Amino acid sequence: MRFHKYHAAGNDFIITDDPILTPAQAPRLCDRRTGIGADGILWHRTAPDADAQMTIINADGTIAEMCGNGIRCFCRYLIEQYGLRKERLLIQTGNGPIECLIDRTGGEWHITVDIGQSTLTANRGPNAWRVDIGNPHLVVRGPADHEKACAEAIRLQGEHHGDINVEMMLSVDSTARTVDLIVNERGAGFTQACGTGGGAVIETLHHTGILKEGEEWTLRFPGGPIHYRRDTKGHIIMRGDAQFVYSGSTDAPAR
């Protein structure tokens, strides 16, 4: 299997167009000791009404509807490895078509993604909110202590039988418009960043009156910053980079 590896804010992915790939192969391929190592696989297929279709396979073999960091990596892959020469790409995902804008000014990659509208479906107490942004999230105003926050994120995901992404906000600075957070992703565990998770945080901050429409906020994940705003239509707009790691081939799926 031929593959390309990319990351965005430390959230790393194997990207391939191998036609015989199956989700069952993901745990072996994503294993960081015996495989390539990644948070997930982005499976590239053609789409009749879009530039490409991106299927997101988590490290445990489950399918995710959407991945904000993954789609930025996927855009750079389409341009560098697949030969698309566009500044605007339409990617078909499990959450519908997503529009992405590519800016390479100064040699740096800046990819802006409209990840759509999100819905705050329920309050889970005074410091926890359930948000749907094409995939499910639980946003929590957590303890500032990193170790305690990790333990709480594990506990909360366990309460939901692993079927939710948990974002723990360690600090919120409304003056600097920054949030420090960690993410425990379903199907992958603790990751360096989560693009849609950041969108869920933005929706929560808007719901609680901390964030106003049009303001740009910087979410500081362990893997690096991603910039967000909520527009007047309620769409979450994300902007960040994507980095090429390496290309290679493996026979791991056949073993």
159: alpha, beta or left, given left = phi > 0 and alpha = psi -120 to 50? alpha
Measured CA to CA, the distance from residue 226 to residue 118 in angstroms comes to 18
Catalytic residue among 30, 73, 100, 194: 194
Q: State how far Cα 29 lies from the chain centre.
A: 19
Catalytic residue among 30, 67, 73, 75: 67
Active site residue 194: yes
Three-class DSSP category at 6: strand
- Provide the residue type at 151 as one letter: A
Three-class DSSP category at 250: coil
Residue whose tokens read 């390479």: 104
> Which pair of tokens denotes residue 235?
């769409």
Neighbours of 247 (CB within 10 A): 14
- Provide the residue type at 223 as one letter: G
Strand segments (E) across 152-207: 165-173, 178-185, 189-191
DSSP character at residue 84: -
Q: Which residues form the catalytic set?
A: 67, 194
